[in-house]
């Protein structure tokens, strides 16, 4: 049987690829549009932003949030305003990027002004996007971070833009005390726009590029004749040192946003949670013998309270709030045995640690913030009293000092006080004394708790006796010594139950850690009320 090869098949026409489906084509268009939105107004505008020493809004968000976690909201929104050429300029996002992401795995909401569009100015659509993300943050019970770089209200949209600010202020106030709100100033913030950061919990600024003011240099010059630059009027250093508006100031955006991330790691998501705990590897029972030499026994000799706080903190890591404003009092966030703690402390290196108007306001706001977000308070006392002077009295030291008193009395978090040396007069009472509700009060053997210093007390009590003495100086010295021995010895307050224990300074960290553990489950019932009426 013979076989023959089968004929090779003849090649027919190659079938055309199927036409792209409608869905695939639409998805392709979506991808292209998303890329366009992400690119923003173009390389020229981006170059101009970089030339100012500033990052773009998306670059800032990338630095703030964990990589790949940002979820944008309303990226395709555009304004609907007309007139003054607006109808021909309708960029996507309308100059603000909004959404949420994660910082160290925890949800954070964010909005960032895009200065490349309308100079970051706020219009109706722009404001509506911010309102939405603020509402979402409050509903989700998660922190809100605003990256501010805007030129104020969009003048072309008139009162509609101003109304947008009203909505932001109302939401700032509603969220106050519920979720952490952090304002990061990365460019100009002028006029009414400056009130939103002022309503938030923390304000960060960058030197050289960020300014905040209600009226700019031109208006100041026209009204008062004063000549001032943008930075001289409302720059980072001005607000960090003089006005107290700024809590943290940095030299560049990168380091600023790194510190924002660090602060978020110390705060709870909302007022119903505790701050996140972190294992630091620093033993709670670690002794600090350095404290025995760091703090002089003589009450008139200064020392740096920052070093004391660092000794008590886990791994000596501290985050000082308002470091350069009212330096006579320190407000610091630390971890102690892994738990976040707020520390309020007098600073003997500045004005001998006295309380004045600015120090009272600074500490009062810090105490309120800690109480709001369930952060226990440790108060380190070395205070000679309130700052005397006509200026202080006329500017309202009574009213402002009462702010700190009110804040402590109103706080329900664990409150522990350590008296290192001086605790004189009304300042002793205000600095979280046991009589205003401190849960536990400890003292070092160098403590002096009294109405006033021994010299002043002797001059008042024994004024006539000293005046009639043959040797007034010798008599005064003797009576001062007697007064100190009788009423100011280290155990006088402890004998009367005003101090719970006199402790070895080297054991302060261990003592605080044990006390905070016991007080961790503290509960406090407040009297029913709409809200208090604190002094202004």
Cα gap 432→99, rounded to integer Å: 41
Q: Which residues pair with 334 in a beta bridge?
A: 318, 341
Residue that the structure tokens 């350590």 belong to: 418
CA torsion through residues 460, 464, 465, 469, sign: positive
Query: Which residues are annotated as catalytic?
Result: 191-192, 426-427
Question: Any residues with CB less than 8 A from the CB of 24 and at least 6 apart, and which?
Answer: none
CA-nearest of 244, 377, 353, 361 to 304 is 353
In 341-462, which residue ranges form alpha helices assigned H by DSSP?
Answer: 357-372, 390-394, 397-410, 425-430, 454-461
SS3 of 235, please?
strand
- Between the alpha carbon of residue 213 and those of residues 127, 210, 466, the distances in Å are 20, 10, 56
For residues 114 and 95, is the Cβ–Cβ distance under 8 A?
yes
CA-nearest of 9, 164, 35, 156 to 88 is 156
CA-nearest of 282, 332, 284 to 304 is 332
CA-nearest of 420, 423, 422, 415 to 308 is 420
For residues 109 and 142, is the Cβ–Cβ distance under 8 A?
yes
In 154-203, which residue ranges form alpha helices assigned H by DSSP?
Answer: 159-175, 195-199
Backbone angles phi, psi at 257, to 5 degrees: -70, -30
CA-nearest of 281, 64, 99 to 186 is 64
């Amino acid at each position: 049987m013979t076989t023959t090869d089968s004929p090779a098949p003849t090649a027919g026409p190659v079938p055309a690829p199927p036409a792209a489906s409608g869905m695939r084509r639409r998805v392709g268009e979506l991808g292209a549009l998303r890329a366009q939105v992400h690119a923003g107004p173009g390389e020229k505008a981006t170059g101009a932003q970089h030339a100012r020493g500033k990052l773009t809004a998306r670059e800032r968000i990338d630095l703030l949030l964990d990589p790949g976690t940002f979820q944008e909201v309303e990226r395709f929104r555009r304004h609907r305003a007309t007139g003054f050429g607006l109808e021909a300029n309708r960029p996507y996002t309308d100059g603000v990027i909004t959404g949420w992401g994660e910082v160290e795995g925890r949800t954070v909401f964010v909005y960032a002004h895009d200065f490349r569009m309308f100079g970051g100015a706020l219009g109706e659509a722009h404001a509506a996007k911010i309102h939405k993300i603020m509402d979402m943050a409050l509903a989700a019970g998660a922190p809100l971070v605003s990256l501010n770089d805007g030129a104020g209200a969009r003048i072309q949209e008139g009162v509609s833009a101003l109304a947008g600010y009203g909505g932001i202020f109302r939401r700032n106030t509603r969220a106050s005390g519920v979720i952490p709100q952090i304002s990061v100033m990365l460019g100009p913030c002028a006029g009414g726009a400056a009130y939103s950061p002022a309503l938030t919990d923390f304000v960060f600024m960058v030197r050289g590029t960020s300014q905040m003011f209600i009226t700019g240099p031109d208006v100041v010059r026209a009204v008062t004749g004063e000549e001032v630059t943008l930075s001289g009027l409302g720059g980072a250093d001005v607000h960090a040192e003089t006005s107290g508006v700024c809590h943290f100031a940095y030299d560049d955006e990168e380091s600023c946003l790194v510190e924002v991330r660090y602060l978020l790691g110390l705060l709870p998501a909302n007022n119903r949670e505790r701050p996140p705990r972190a294992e630091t590897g620093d033993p709670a029972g670690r002794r600090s013998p350095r404290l025995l030499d760091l703090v002089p026994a003589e009450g008139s000799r200064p020392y740096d309270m920052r070093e004391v706080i660092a000794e008590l903190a886990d791994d000596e890591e501290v985050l000082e709030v308002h470091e350069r404003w009212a330096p006579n009092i320190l407000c610091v966030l630390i971890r102690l045995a892994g738990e976040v703690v707020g520390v309020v402390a007098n600073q003997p290196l500045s004005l001998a640690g006295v309380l004045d108007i600015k120090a009272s306001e600074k500490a009062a706001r810090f105490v309120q913030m800690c109480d709001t977000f369930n952060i226990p308070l440790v108060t380190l006392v070395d205070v000679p009293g309130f700052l005397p002077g006509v200026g202080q009295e006329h500017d309202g030291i009574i009213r402002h000092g009462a702010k700190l008193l009110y804040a402590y009395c109103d706080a329900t978090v664990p409150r522990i006080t350590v008296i290192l040396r001086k605790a004189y007069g009304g300042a002793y009472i205000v600095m979280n004394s046991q009589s205003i509700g401190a849960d536990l009060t400890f003292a070092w053997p160098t403590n002096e708790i009294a109405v006033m210093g021994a010299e002043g007390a002797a001059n008042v009590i024994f004024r006539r006796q000293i005046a009639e003495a043959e040797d007034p100086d010798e008599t005064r010295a003797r009576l001062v010594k007697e007064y100190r021995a009788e009423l100011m010895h280290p155990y006088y307050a402890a004998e009367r139950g005003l101090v719970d224990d006199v402790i070895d300074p080297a054991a302060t960290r261990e003592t605080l850690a044990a006390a905070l553990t016991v007080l961790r489950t503290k509960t406090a019932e407040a009297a029913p009320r709409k809200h208090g009426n604190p002094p202004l």
